[in-house]
């Protein structure tokens, strides 16, 4: 409450108080007492001559911190009453009554406060206030908006304000004003403009304005459609990059080694929890470097999952090579134990992993399209991991050995490759990449014991669709599935989209049982 | 070239003499001893079979049918399905629809429609509820719906020769998709609450001791019947081809057999068995919801068969009883350790008991002079 007061006074002081009249006791009383219609009318009247006292009083009204003593309205501060005009404090009598604001009144108060915030010194507050006004601008706020427009320096806010002014003018009684407003709004890329135009079109009587409105509507819709399409594309790529991260590890363990690892999702979960632990350590011991905890978390997540992978490989999986169905069941058992283990250690609830400050926020590309930084970072990260894996497999000695063992184990052994050790390394690598995926996932989703479960079916689909033993196939399948999923989602809803994608994969495999990129070989068992 | 005669192994009898006697004892226990101990022995007697035990064993017998079905397709044909939960749930849902209609106007909203439809403000039954008021049609659909789904799915999967882990993963995707579908309210199956609060079956109240016992006996008889059928099936020529498909599918094809028909038949049959199990399960448990289709449930079915011993018919039944018995004890006594135990079971059985408990017992017996 107190901090709110301070904040409030701070921005109230910044108000340009150029008006002759200020808040009067009559105004304050009229805004607080009576039926909603009368109060809203009084509010509109007070807004025309608003000063810093008006702002403080309105904020108090919105915070339910105004009480009635008899027929006078007083602000409440702690256990004291404050006169809204003179600012004098006095002891609040016991019989003070609460004022009840209904939803309409609250809405009016909020937008009035937003209009007042247009004069804040902080550009961020001004921008937010302008955005809020966009949806509920009307003529009553026009004087304030015009005043703000005259003093505004920031180009972005100025453009937005012009739009808000146009939306307010849209309901003007003057036809030329309406036409002017319509023309201006046609260049907008905001979803709220469309709603405003539609609402006006319903009431418009003048045929000329009507025509202009329809034209403007078409232009806005076209602009919006582009934003929607690009937005779906971006979220598709974003989902695709996550699928890619998840599937890259699988592409190594399953695609190259032929091990069905049902615990892959749980290895991701370990990576995500490793990130959580690193975050906790930074909070505790290095709060000044908290923004960079993610960089430290990456190797930790990789090592934690890789280590788990080595343990799994040495104790269970190595006895089951060549028996894929048994591997599947055994790794499922491991996944159950890992999940329960995390529950025992960290509790069954989700834990909170925060974005570092440089990853929150986003780039505003179009009016209805903004690209969050954390998604952008993950896309870049997925590409980097992909590059590293491709390099490792195709250019390094370890990669050569892995490929050799995959293609022909006995011959590789004859050449002096320690195949058992290569198995362990390759499995650790795949598991470590799962850990990296988990670290990335912790930045966009919930971190809980069930984290891996949601991705296991999807990621196997990616590997199956992409074709076994192929990194390129995995990339195409991940991005393709991600984009397909998001486009279907916009069209049919999330659940139906997911089902449609699964059905699509099942049908696709009919046509190409070996995935998009088939390994060429002579085996009759293929 | 002189024609060669091939010595085929003599046809083994359906059950050995000892086998038949055990079987008859099992029939007697299920049909006579259990009802007598539950219904007529007074509750304070040491020999009384509690209602809780009847419910538990009845439930496990349903699971045992599923394990048997998994065994036919996995143990004898080498196809691991991770999607049998769908067929189980489909059978359950068909039965659940009938039971929902049997509630009549006794629901919370006193409407002809099931409560959840009133809640969603639906005015009439959706098309797929058309036959849900007829018990005969329900009995038919309990088998037909899972059978049809399995047939269509299996036809496409086996035709393009999807096998091994590919098939397993695709079936898992299938059950996952089905679960998502049934979670939706619009699908018309009660969304995530599913069906519950049943009142009657064939106009007889469902929550009585007698009804519980009847369902128990029915489940037991079905299980034993399926056991005999499976026994006959795997001993027949058909069963031999299945096992040949399991051991060397390519060689079977080179010998002039088309495995598609064999695999499809046993796959569909196995799905139907699961459907029946689901239909018996729902009136005993009193609820069916989409979580029955979760991939985890289907995998658990596979572990029942694996624990007991694949490629033996007694094995899966034994496995279902051991795993689920342990589950119902552990989840009450040590709830936090149940998943550790289950996980360890998965690992231990695959590593140390590839033939399951039955195979292990056989080996012990064989080792003795």
In the block, tokens 């004022």 appear at: A99
A525 and B250: CB-CB below 8 Å? yes
- Mutate one of A247, A314, A317, A325 to test the B interface: name it (highest B CB count within 10 A): A325
For the whole model, what pTM was predicted?
0.76
pLDDT band at A22 (very low <50, low <70, confident <90, very high): low
pLDDT band at B119 (very low <50, low <70, confident <90, very high): confident
Are both A134 and A103 inside the same structural domain? no
Three-state DSSP class for residue B77:
coil
Chain mean pLDDT for chain B? 88
| Residue in A with minimal Cα distance to B153 | A506
Q: Find the mean pLDDT for residues A178-185.
A: 77
| Chain B residues within 8 A of A469 when measuring between CB atoms | none
Interface check for B179 against chain A (CB to CB < 8 A): the answer is no
The beta-carbon contacts of A424-428 under 8 Å, at least 24 apart in sequence, are: A424/A310, A424/A313, A424/A314, A424/A318, A425/A398, A426/A252, A426/A253, A426/A256, A426/A257, A426/A402, A427/A253, A427/A257, A427/A259, A427/A309, A427/A310, A427/A312, A427/A313, A427/A317, A428/A306, A428/A307, A428/A309, A428/A310, A428/A313
Are both A139 and A63 inside the same structural domain? no
B159 and A326: CB-CB below 8 Å? no
Q: Is the pLDDT of residue A367 over 80?
A: no
Residue A319 DSSP code: G
In tens, the pLDDT along B297-356 reads: 999 999 899 998 887 889 999 999 999 999 999 988 888 888 899 999 989 988 888 888
Instruction: Give domain status of residue A250, yes or no.
Output: yes
- Mutate one of A259, A265, A329 to test the B interface: name it (highest B CB count within 10 A): A329
Structure tokens at A34: 């009576």
Given a contact cutoff of 8 angstroms between Cβ atoms, the answer to whether A116 and A144 are in contact is: yes
What does the alpha-carbon distance between residue A18 and residue A426 come to, in Å, rounded to a whole number?
73
pLDDT band at B215 (very low <50, low <70, confident <90, very high): very high
Pairing assessment for the beta strands B287-288 and A89-91 based on DSSP bridges: unpaired
In tens, the pLDDT along B151-172 reads: 999 998 888 777 777 888 888 8
Question: Which pLDDT score, from 0 to 100, does residue A7 have?
Answer: 53
- Mutate one of B78, B173, B192, B248 to test the A interface: name it (highest A CB count within 10 A): B173
Are both A270 and A398 inside the same structural domain? yes
ipTM above 0.95, yes or no: no
Q: Show which of A454, A474, A489 is a domain's final residue.
A: A454
Instruction: Give domain status of residue B165, yes or no.
Output: yes
Closest Cα in chain A, distance from residue B132 (Å): 25
Residue A98: phi, psi to the nearest 5? Answer: -75, 155
Instruction: Give domain status of residue B75, yes or no.
Output: yes
| Chain A residues within 8 A of B181 when measuring between CB atoms | 495, 499
A464 and B295: CB-CB below 8 Å? no
Nearest to B287 by CA among B107, B96, B133: B96
Find all residues with CB under 8 Å of A38, minimum gap 6, and list them.
Answer: A30
Are both A438 and A343 inside the same structural domain? yes
Interface check for B247 against chain A (CB to CB < 8 A): the answer is no
Are both A388 and A337 inside the same structural domain? yes
Question: Which pLDDT score, from 0 to 100, does residue B74 have?
Answer: 92
B343 and A337: CB-CB below 8 Å? yes
Three-state DSSP class for residue A447:
strand
Helix axes A373-395, A471-492, angle to 10 degrees: 160
B346 and A330: CB-CB below 8 Å? yes
Interface check for B162 against chain A (CB to CB < 8 A): the answer is yes
Instruction: Give domain status of residue B16, yes or no.
Output: no
Given a contact cutoff of 8 angstroms between Cβ atoms, the answer to whether A465 and A505 are in contact is: yes
Interface check for B342 against chain A (CB to CB < 8 A): the answer is yes
pLDDT band at B369 (very low <50, low <70, confident <90, very high): very low
Task: Tell me how many residue pairs between chain A and chain B have CB atoms under 8 A apart.
Answer: 114
Closest Cα in chain B, distance from residue A496 (Å): 7
Question: Which pLDDT score, from 0 to 100, does residue B227 have?
Answer: 94
Residue A16 DSSP code: -
| Chain B residues within 8 A of A506 when measuring between CB atoms | 153, 156-157, 170, 173-174
What does the alpha-carbon distance between residue A307 and residue A329 come to, in Å, rounded to a whole number?
21
Domain range holding A87?
2-109
A460 and B351: CB-CB below 8 Å? no
Are both A134 and A34 inside the same structural domain? no
- Mutate one of B77, B183, B339 to test the A interface: name it (highest A CB count within 10 A): B339
| Residue in B with minimal Cα distance to A261 | B165
Question: Which pLDDT score, from 0 to 100, does residue B367 have?
Answer: 65
Q: Residue A495 is nearest to which of B153, B180, B302, comparing CB atoms?
A: B180
Question: Which pLDDT score, from 0 to 100, does residue A4 have?
Answer: 53
| Residue in A with minimal Cα distance to B343 | A333
Domain range holding B148?
57-294
Q: Is the pLDDT of residue A158 over 80?
A: no
> Which H or E run includes A72?
strand A72-77
pLDDT band at B264 (very low <50, low <70, confident <90, very high): very high
Are both A31 and A125 inside the same structural domain? no
Domain total in chain A: 3
Map A120-154 to HEC letters. CCCHHHHHHHHHHHHHCCCHHHHHHHHHHHHHCCC
Closest Cα in chain A, distance from residue B310 (Å): 12
Interface check for B255 against chain A (CB to CB < 8 A): the answer is no
What does the alpha-carbon distance between residue A388 and residue A299 come to, in Å, rounded to a whole number?
14
B161 and A513: CB-CB below 8 Å? yes
What does the alpha-carbon distance between residue B59 and residue B55 come to, in Å, rounded to a whole number?
6
Alpha helices in A397-470 (DSSP H): 397-407, 409-414, 419-441, 453-466
Number of other residues whose CB lies within 10 A of the CB of residue A325: 21
What does the alpha-carbon distance between residue B76 and residue B31 come to, in Å, rounded to a whole number?
30
| Chain A residues within 8 A of B290 when measuring between CB atoms | none
Q: Percentage of residues in chain B with pLDDT exceeding 70?
A: 98
In tens, the pLDDT along A94-120 reads: 777 777 777 778 777 777 777 777 777
A333 and B354: CB-CB below 8 Å? no
Q: Which of A183-192, B202-211, B217-226, B348-357 is the least confident region?
A: A183-192
pLDDT band at A254 (very low <50, low <70, confident <90, very high): confident
Are both A98 and A133 inside the same structural domain? no
Interface check for B260 against chain A (CB to CB < 8 A): the answer is no
Instruction: Give domain status of residue B303, yes or no.
Output: no
Q: Residue B350 is nearest to which of A329, A337, A340, comparing CB atoms?
A: A329
Q: Residue B350 is nearest to which of A330, A506, A513, comparing CB atoms?
A: A330
Are both A334 and A443 inside the same structural domain? yes
A506 and B156: CB-CB below 8 Å? yes
pLDDT band at A17 (very low <50, low <70, confident <90, very high): very low
Q: Show which of A454, A479, A511 is a domain's final residue.
A: A454
Q: Residue B173 is nearest to which of A328, A335, A461, comparing CB atoms?
A: A461
Q: Is the pLDDT of residue B149 over 90?
A: yes
Are both A100 and A33 inside the same structural domain? yes
Instruction: Give domain status of residue B29, yes or no.
Output: no
B339 and A340: CB-CB below 8 Å? yes
Nearest to B63 by CA among B343, B255, B328, B364: B328
| Residue, of B268 and A224, whose pLDDT is higher | B268
Instruction: Give domain status of residue A521, yes or no.
Output: no
Instruction: Give domain status of residue B337, yes or no.
Output: no
Q: Percentage of residues in chain A with pLDDT exceeding 70?
A: 89
Number of other residues whose CB lies within 10 A of the CB of residue A154: 13
Instruction: Give domain status of residue B257, yes or no.
Output: yes
Interface check for B192 against chain A (CB to CB < 8 A): the answer is no
B342 and A333: CB-CB below 8 Å? yes
Q: Residue A510 is nearest to which of B160, B164, B183, comparing CB atoms?
A: B160
Are both A124 and A89 inside the same structural domain? no
Instruction: Give domain status of residue B301, yes or no.
Output: no
Q: Is the pLDDT of residue A16 over 70?
A: no
Q: Is the pLDDT of residue A144 over 80?
A: no
Domain total in chain B: 1
Residue A93: phi, psi to the nearest 5? Answer: -70, 160
Structure tokens at A222: 């076209």
Closest Cα in chain B, distance from residue A107 (Å): 31
Are both A325 and A446 inside the same structural domain? yes
A502 and B172: CB-CB below 8 Å? no
A-side interface with B, Cβ within 8 Å? 260, 316, 319-320, 323-330, 332-337, 339-341, 343-344, 457, 460-461, 464, 495-496, 498-499, 502-503, 505-507, 509-511, 513, 524-525
Q: Is the pLDDT of residue A395 over 80?
A: yes
Instruction: Note the Cα B356 to chain centre separation in Å.
Output: 19
- Mutate one of A265, A322, A324, A333 to test the B interface: name it (highest B CB count within 10 A): A333
Instruction: Give domain status of residue A397, yes or no.
Output: yes
Instruction: Give domain status of residue A523, yes or no.
Output: no
Q: Is the pLDDT of residue B217 over 90?
A: yes
| Residue in A with minimal Cα distance to B250 | A525
Q: Residue A324 is nearest to which of B165, B250, B344, comparing CB atoms?
A: B165
Interface check for B100 against chain A (CB to CB < 8 A): the answer is no
| Residue in B with minimal Cα distance to A505 | B170
Instruction: Give domain status of residue A218, yes or no.
Output: no
Residue positions counted in chain A: 526
Q: Show which of A454, A482, A503 is a domain's final residue.
A: A454
What does the alpha-carbon distance between residue A471 and residue A6 come to, in Å, rounded to a whole number?
58
Q: Is the pLDDT of residue A524 over 50?
A: no
B299 and A344: CB-CB below 8 Å? no
What does the alpha-carbon distance between residue A488 and residue A468 come to, in Å, rounded to a whole number?
26
Q: Find the mean pLDDT for residues A298-308.
A: 94
Helix axes A324-346, B295-308, angle to 10 degrees: 120
| Residue in B with minimal Cα distance to A321 | B351
Q: How far apart are the first and last CA of chain B?
A: 45
| Residue in B with minimal Cα distance to A515 | B166
pLDDT band at A44 (very low <50, low <70, confident <90, very high): confident
Nearest to A86 by CA among A61, A57, A109: A57
Edge-to-edge strand ranges of the sheet holding A72-77: A89-91, A80-82, A72-77, A66-69, A97-98
Instruction: Give domain status of residue A12, yes or no.
Output: yes
Given a contact cutoff of 8 angstroms between Cβ atoms, the answer to whether B134 and B268 are in contact is: no
């Amino acid at each position: 409450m107190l901090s709110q007061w301070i904040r409030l006074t701070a921005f109230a002081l910044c108000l340009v108080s150029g008006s002759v009249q200020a808040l009067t006791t009559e105004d304050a009383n009229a805004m607080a007492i009576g039926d909603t219609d009368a109060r809203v009318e009084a509010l509109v009247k007070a807004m025309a001559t608003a000063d810093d006292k008006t702002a403080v009083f309105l904020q108090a009204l919105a915070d339910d911190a105004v009480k009635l003593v008899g027929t006078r309205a007083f602000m409440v501060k702690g256990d004291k009453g404050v006169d809204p005009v003179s600012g004098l404090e006095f002891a609040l009598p016991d019989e003070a009554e609460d004022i009840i604001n209904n939803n309409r009144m609250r809405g009016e108060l909020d937008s009035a406060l937003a209009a007042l915030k247009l004069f804040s010194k902080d550009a961020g507050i001004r921008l937010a206030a302008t955005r809020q006004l966009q949806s509920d601008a009307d003529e009553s706020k026009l004087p304030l908006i015009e005043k703000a427009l005259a003093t505004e320096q920031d180009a972005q806010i100025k453009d937005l304000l012009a739009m808000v002014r146009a939306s307010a003018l849209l309901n003007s009684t003057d036809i030329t004003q309406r036409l002017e407003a319509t023309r201006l709004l046609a260049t907008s890329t905001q979803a709220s403009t469309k709603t405003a135009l539609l609402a006006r079109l319903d009431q418009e009587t003048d045929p000329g304005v009507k025509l202009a409105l329809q034209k403007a509507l078409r232009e806005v819709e076209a602009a919006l459609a582009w934003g929607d399409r690009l937005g779906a594309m971006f979220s598709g790529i974003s989902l695709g990059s996550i699928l890619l991260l998840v599937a890259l590890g699988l592409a190594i363990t399953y695609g190259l080694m032929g091990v069905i690892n049902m615990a892959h999702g749980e290895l991701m979960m370990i990576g995500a929890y490793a990130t959580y632990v690193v975050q906790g350590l930074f909070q505790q011991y290095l709060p000044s470097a908290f923004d960079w905890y993610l960089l430290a978390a990456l190797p930790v997540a990789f090592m934690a999952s890789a280590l788990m992978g080595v343990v799994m490989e040495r104790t269970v999986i190595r006895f089951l090579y060549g028996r894929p169905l048994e591997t599947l069941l055994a790794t499922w058992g491991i996944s159950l134990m890992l999940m329960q283990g995390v529950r025992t250690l960290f509790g069954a609830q989700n834990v909170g992993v925060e974005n570092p400050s440089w990853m929150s926020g986003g780039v505003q590309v179009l009016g209805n399209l903004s690209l969050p930084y954390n998604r952008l970072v993950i896309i870049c990260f997925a590409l980097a991991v992909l590059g590293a894996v491709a390099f490792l497999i195709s250019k390094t000695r370890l990669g050569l050995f892995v490929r050799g063992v995959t293609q022909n184990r006995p011959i590789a052994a004859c050449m002096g490759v320690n195949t058992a050790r290569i198995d362990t390394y390759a499995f650790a690598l795949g598991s470590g990449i799962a850990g990296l995926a988990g670290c990335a996932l912790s930045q966009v989703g919930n971190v809980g014991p069930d984290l891996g479960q949601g991705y296991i079916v999807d990621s196997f689909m990616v590997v199956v669709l992409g074709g076994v033993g192929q990194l390129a196939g995995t990339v195409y399948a991940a991005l393709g599935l991600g984009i397909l999923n998001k486009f279907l989602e916009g069209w049919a809803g999330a659940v139906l989209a997911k089902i449609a994608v699964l059905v699509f994969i099942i049908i696709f495999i009919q046509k190409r049982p070996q995935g998009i990129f088939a390994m060429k070989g002579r085996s009759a068992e293929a | 070239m002189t024609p060669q005669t091939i010595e085929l192994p003599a046809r083994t009898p359906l059950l050995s003499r000892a086998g038949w006697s055990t079987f008859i004892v099992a029939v007697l226990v299920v049909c006579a001893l259990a009802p007598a101990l539950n219904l007529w022995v007074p509750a304070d007697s040491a020999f009384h079979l509690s209602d809780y035990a009847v419910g538990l064993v009845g439930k496990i017998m349903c699971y045992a049918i599923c394990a048997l079905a998994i065994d036919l397709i996995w143990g004898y044909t080498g196809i691991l399905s991770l999607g049998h939960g769908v067929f189980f749930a489909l059978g359950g849902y068909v039965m659940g629809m009938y039971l929902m209609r049997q509630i009549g106007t006794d629901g919370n909203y006193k409407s002809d429609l099931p409560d959840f439809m009133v809640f969603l403000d639906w005015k009439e039954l959706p098309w797929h509820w058309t036959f849900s008021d007829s018990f005969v049609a329900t009995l038919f659909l309990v088998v037909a719906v899972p059978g049809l789904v399995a047939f269509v799915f299996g036809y496409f999967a086996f035709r393009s020769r999807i096998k091994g882990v590919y098939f397993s993963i695709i079936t898992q995707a299938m059950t996952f998709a089905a679960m998502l579908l049934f979670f939706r309210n619009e699908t018309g199956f009660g969304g995530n609450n599913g069906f519950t609060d049943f009142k009657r079956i064939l106009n007889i109240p469902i929550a009585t001791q007698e009804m519980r016992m009847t369902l128990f006996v029915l489940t037991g008889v079905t299980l034993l019947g399926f056991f005999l059928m499976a026994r006959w099936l795997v001993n027949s020529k058909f069963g031999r081809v299945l096992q040949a498909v399991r051991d060397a599918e390519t060689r079977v094809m080179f010998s002039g057999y088309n495995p598609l028909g064999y695999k499809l038949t046993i796959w569909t049959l196995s799905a139907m068995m699961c459907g029946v199990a689901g239909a018996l399960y729902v009136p005993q448990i009193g609820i069916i919801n989409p979580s029955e289709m979760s991939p985890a449930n289907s995998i658990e079915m596979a572990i029942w068969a694996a624990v007991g011993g694949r490629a033996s018919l007694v094995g899966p039944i034994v496995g279902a009883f051991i795993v689920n018995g342990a589950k119902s004890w552990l989840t009450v006594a040590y709830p936090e350790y149940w998943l550790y135990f289950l996980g360890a079971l998965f690992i231990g059985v695959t590593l140390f008991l590839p033939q399951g408990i039955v195979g292990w017992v056989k080996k012990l017996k064989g080792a003795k002079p």
